[in-house]
């Protein structure tokens, strides 16, 4: 794949292994989720005019609300089969795909503040989409560091030298205990995953750690920082996540392995390039067009109300966050209230800046993902957890100067270094959310309404693409069934 090479992570870096041997009766292999949808994606990427609609049939109208990866993929997949209108409330298309053009030292370049990385093993749909769209990619670095100033601790998982970037950790028994627990945790969870046993573990992460006697150092210095990097949620929420969700995700992404790391990738020049290529194939994409309400019609279909008026559609795909979808419904059903209302969201403030003082004190400990815990701030635990993404490690940028996205910074970057500030929301995958996910199929197609989003699975880009394509495919199948009836 094209793009500059990136530094590779070492034994403890946040990167997946290329393969995990499966045993009989084990869980599905990573990437198996794409089996049914890859042919559909390839069909959608075919030449224009590939519609299966008969000339005598009127073209159906479909509204897609939300232009993140789920909404974009649904609209793109339906573009030849229906008259699609894409509604976006904000001032840019892409949702969590948000590329910002930055000029430093006389050079302008796009940097990503949301979606950043993917790999060939667990993102097969995204890989296929990018190949079909001819999107250039570049190698990325997925190393990981932890800084806990109140405990005087810094370490990075890039390699053995950076693990002990703070040399005093060599003399800290708790640090060695953390490393021992890390290996024990990986071994235990790998066994549970390969035997397909993790699905029975509904207990919260916190209880699982206590039951299996994992130490506080492992919990606070490694596991919770890693989970924070993955799901961008505060400690209090992470401990309530079902351990099954964590085991399944980490196993699929190879995070339980300590060797044979494959390469991760990023979009060359910024992820906006794939968004632009998809938008170019849509005829009706509306920016600054917030939907006010969605109401079902007695004769079928639904009405979409905006500030400009109302329009009627044969189907409406709500591709926004589940709580946003629920607020838009004029008369939600009991099932919609229960499912869409069960998923909570954590708001995250992202600051784009160049202040390297927020990174670990020792440059040897700098990594692509840098977790910091500054202790409780005015009694609010969620304000005490932050992440610093060193974009120079994640993307090939033309500058030597560090460019950083800080999520919920506990120390504010100096004002003269700030390049932008953005707000994102991430789903909280607690037991209520996981239970709600199992009921999403009940909602699909009822009264002409469909739901998709990364929130339907693990919350990542591949999940959003899977959801958007899946809804588009099922909608087309429902139309085909109606025509046969």
pLDDT at residue 371 is higher than 80: yes
Q: E strand or H helix at 218, and its extent? A: helix 216-218
- Position 258 scores a pLDDT of 62
Q: Is the dihedral of CA 456, 188, 12, 5 positive or negative?
A: negative
More confident residue, 256 or 341: 341
pLDDT at 32: 82
Task: Using the predicted structure, report yes or no on whether residue 381 has a pLDDT greater than 90.
Answer: no
- Averaged pLDDT, 62-69: 98
User: Quick one: pLDDT band at residue 178, thresholds 50, 70, 90?
Assistant: confident
385 confidence band (pLDDT: 50, 70, 90): low
316-339 pLDDT per residue, tens: 999 999 999 999 999 999 999 999
pLDDT average, residue stretch 156-180: 61
Give the pLDDT band of residue 245 (cuts 50, 70, 90).
Answer: confident
pLDDT tens for each residue of 104-133: 999 999 999 999 999 888 899 999 999 999
pLDDT of res. 154: 75
Give pairs for 388-391: CB < 8 Å, separation 24+: 388/358, 388/359, 389/116, 390/359, 390/366, 391/111, 391/112
**Per-residue confidence band for 248, with pLDDT thresholds at 50, 70 and 90:** confident
pLDDT tens digits, 3-61? 333 333 333 333 333 332 333 344 566 678 888 999 999 999 985 655 555 555 678 99
Q: What is the pLDDT of residue 176?
A: 81
pLDDT > 70? residue 67: yes
Report whether 465 contacts 73 (CB < 8 A).
yes
- Residue 197 — very low, low, confident or very high, per pLDDT cuts 50/70/90? low
Q: Report, in this order, helix, strand and coil percent for the chain, each rounded to 5.
A: 40, 20, 40
- The top-scoring range by mean pLDDT among 144-158, 202-216, 376-390 is 202-216
**pLDDT at res. 149:** 72
Poorest-pLDDT segment among 93-97, 133-137, 147-151:
147-151
Q: CA-to-CA distance for 384 and 409, rounded, in angstroms?
A: 8
What's residue 163's pLDDT? Answer: 47
Residue 77: C-alpha distances to residues 34, 37, 122, 425, 479 (Å): 15, 11, 21, 26, 15
Confidence (pTM) = 0.84
Share of the chain above pLDDT 70, in %: 82
pLDDT at 466 > cutoff 60: yes
Q: What is the DSSP string of 138-197?
A: EEE---EEEEEGGGTEEEESSSHHHHTSSGGGGG-HHHHHHHHHHHHHHHHHHHHHHTT-
pLDDT in the model for residue 302? 98
Nearest Cα residue to 97 out of 60, 62, 68, 140: 68
Q: Give me the chain's average pLDDT, please.
A: 84
158 — pLDDT class (breaks 50, 70, 90): low
By percentage, how much of the chain surpasses pLDDT 90? 56
Picking from 158, 159, 142, 178, the residue whose alpha carbon sits closest to that of residue 395 is 142
* Tokens coding 211: 């039951």
Residue ranges of domains in the chain, CATH in brackets = 36-45+57-100+269-342+431-484 (3.50.50.60)
DSSP label at 118?
E
**What is the predicted pLDDT for the residue at 262?**
57
- If you average pLDDT over residues 299-322, what whole number do you get? 97
Q: According to the model, what pLDDT value does residue 54 have? A: 54
Q: Give the pLDDT score at 375.
A: 55
């Amino acid at each position: 794949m094209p793009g500059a090479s990136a530094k590779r992570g070492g034994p403890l870096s946040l990167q997946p292994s290329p393969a995990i041997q499966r045993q009989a009766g084990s869980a599905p292999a990573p990437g198996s989720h794409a089996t049914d949808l890859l042919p559909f994606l390839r069909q959608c990427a075919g030449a224009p005019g590939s519609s299966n609609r008969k000339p005598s049939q009127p073209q159906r109208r479909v509204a897609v609300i939300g232009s993140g990866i789920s909404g974009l993929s649904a609209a793109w997949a339906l573009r030849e089969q229906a008259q699609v209108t894409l509604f976006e409330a904000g001032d840019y298309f892409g949702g969590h795909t948000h590329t910002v053009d930055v000029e430093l030292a006389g050079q302008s370049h796009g940097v990503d503040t949301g979606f950043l990385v993917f790999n060939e093993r667990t993102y097969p749909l995204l890989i296929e989409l990018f190949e079909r769209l001819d999107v250039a990619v570049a190698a990325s670095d997925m190393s990981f560091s932890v800084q806990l100033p109140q405990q005087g601790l810094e370490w990075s998982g890039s390699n053995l030298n950076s693990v002990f970037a703070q040399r005093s950790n060599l003399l800290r028994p708790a640090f060695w205990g953390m490393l021992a627990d890390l290996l024990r945790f990986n071994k235990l969870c790998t066994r549970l995953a390969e035997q397909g046993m993790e699905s029975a573990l509904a207990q919260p992460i916190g209880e699982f750690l206590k039951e299996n006697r994992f130490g506080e150092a492992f919990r606070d210095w490694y596991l919770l920082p890693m989970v924070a990097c993955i799901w961008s949620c505060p400690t209090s929420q992470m401990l309530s996540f079902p351990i099954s969700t964590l085991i399944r995700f980490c196993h699929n992404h190879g995070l339980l392995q300590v060797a044979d790391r494959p390469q991760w990738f990023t979009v060359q020049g910024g992820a906006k390039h794939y968004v632009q290529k998809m938008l170019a194939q849509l005829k009706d994409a509306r920016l600054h067009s917030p939907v006010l309400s969605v109401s079902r019609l007695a004769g079928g279909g639904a009405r979409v109300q905006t500030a400009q008026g109302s329009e009627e559609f044969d189907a409406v795909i709500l591709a926004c966050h589940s709580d946003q979808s629920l607020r838009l419904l004029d008369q939600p059903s009991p099932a919609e209230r229960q499912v869409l209302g069960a998923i909570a969201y954590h708001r995250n403030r992202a600051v784009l800046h160049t202040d390297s003082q927020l990174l670990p004190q020792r440059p040897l400990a700098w990594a692509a993902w840098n977790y910091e815990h500054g202790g409780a701030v005015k009694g609010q635990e969620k304000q005490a957890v932050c992440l610093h993404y060193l974009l120079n490690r994640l993307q090939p940028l033309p500058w030597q100067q560090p460019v950083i996205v800080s999520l919920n910074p506990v120390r504010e970057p100096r004002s003269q270094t700030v390049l932008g500030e953005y707000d994102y929301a991430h789903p909280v995958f607690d037991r209520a959310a996981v239970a709600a996910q199992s009921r999403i199929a009940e909602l699909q197609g009822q009264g002409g309404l469909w739901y998709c989003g990364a929130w339907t699975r693990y919350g990542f880009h591949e999940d959003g693409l899977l959801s958007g394509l899946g809804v588009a495919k099922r909608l087309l199948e429902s139309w085909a069934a109606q025509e046969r009836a």
